[in-house]
Amino acid sequence: MENQEMLLEALKEIEKWEQDQKDLWFWEKLGRIPFTLLDRITPNIVHEWLGKILDELGGYIQTGGQYLISEKEILTQLAKEAQLRPDYLTLDKVPALPLHTMDKVAEELKESRKQFATMQGATTGFGGVFTLAIDIPALLGLSLKVLQEMALSYGYNPKDKHERIFIVKCLQFASSDFVGKQAIIKELASAETAQVGESISKLEGWREVIYTYRDNYGWKKLFQLVPVVGIIFGAYINRSTIDEVSEAGQMLYRKRRVLEKLARMDSDDGLAKYNI
């Protein structure tokens, strides 16, 4: 059974992870410069896709668009891990599951999506610049998919607009430098956990997220522009991107769930003292 000590230990692990988030290394920072050069040598179709992604990300925040996923698969995995009947478990019951059950499913999903991203990057890297136009929206779609899966794994509904905003913040976190990451952590920690959606509803200029996401390709994507050779770079870049995105989503959602469980325990203890 879960107890307060176990949850506090989990919280310490998450906070250590937050502190361990390092700044971008030199080549990553340098990699943000070449995009002005890349713009000049990139075919118009790639520019069109980048523009379309900006609009689609805005649409995702507002309605979920084409990126919303079904919760059935995740609930089935959670039920199996918790040894429950698949038809018994609903999303509103997930918060009552043990944290280790949520962690196990989230970790399995992360590994699975990393493998898929590796294959996807290798495939789109084969054609160089011609398939880069396919790779960019595909990678964004996979990023949003895995973040929604992390949300569901910890009992949060990505169909809720506030959760979609939180998901975009996770995407921004994964693509930010050290200063940006610490600012996001501070922002998310500034409000009560139960009001986390409200605290980030002030998110403005969401386009900066995709600009950061785009710039994060930098010099690495330059190598992917070369046909065939791009297989190696495409596989590596996509795998590392999904690894960073899914880890950010897993840890930030895990923190929310731990804090909510602790708050619930404190509330129950308080009620018990007054025989309520």
C-alpha 217/C-alpha 73 separation (Å) is: 31
For the stretch 108-150, pLDDT in tens is 999 999 998 888 777 766 655 556 666 777 888 889 999 999 9
pLDDT at 171: 86
For the stretch 152-194, pLDDT in tens is 999 999 999 889 889 988 988 887 777 778 888 888 776 444 4
Is the confidence at residue 220, as pLDDT, over 50?
yes
Closest C-alpha to 141, from 107, 167, 105: 167
What average pLDDT does range 84-94 have in this prediction? 93
What band does 37 get if pLDDT is binned at 50, 70 and 90?
Answer: low
pLDDT at 77: 96
**What is the DSSP secondary-structure string of 70-104?**
-SHHHHHHHHHHTT--TTT--GGGGGGS-HHHHHH
pLDDT at 59: 75
Q: Where are the alpha helices (DSSP H) in the chain?
A: 4-20, 26-30, 35-41, 44-63, 72-81, 99-125, 129-153, 161-175, 178-189, 196-199, 207-215, 218-224, 230-273
CA distances in angstroms from 181 to 20, 103, 163, 171, 248, listed in the order given: 11, 22, 19, 11, 10
pLDDT at 184: 84
What dihedral angle (degrees, nearest 10) is formed by the CA atoms of 269, 192, 153, 70?
Answer: 130
For residues 238 and 16, the model is more confident at 16
What band does 272 get if pLDDT is binned at 50, 70 and 90?
Answer: very low
Longest dimension (CA), the chain: 71
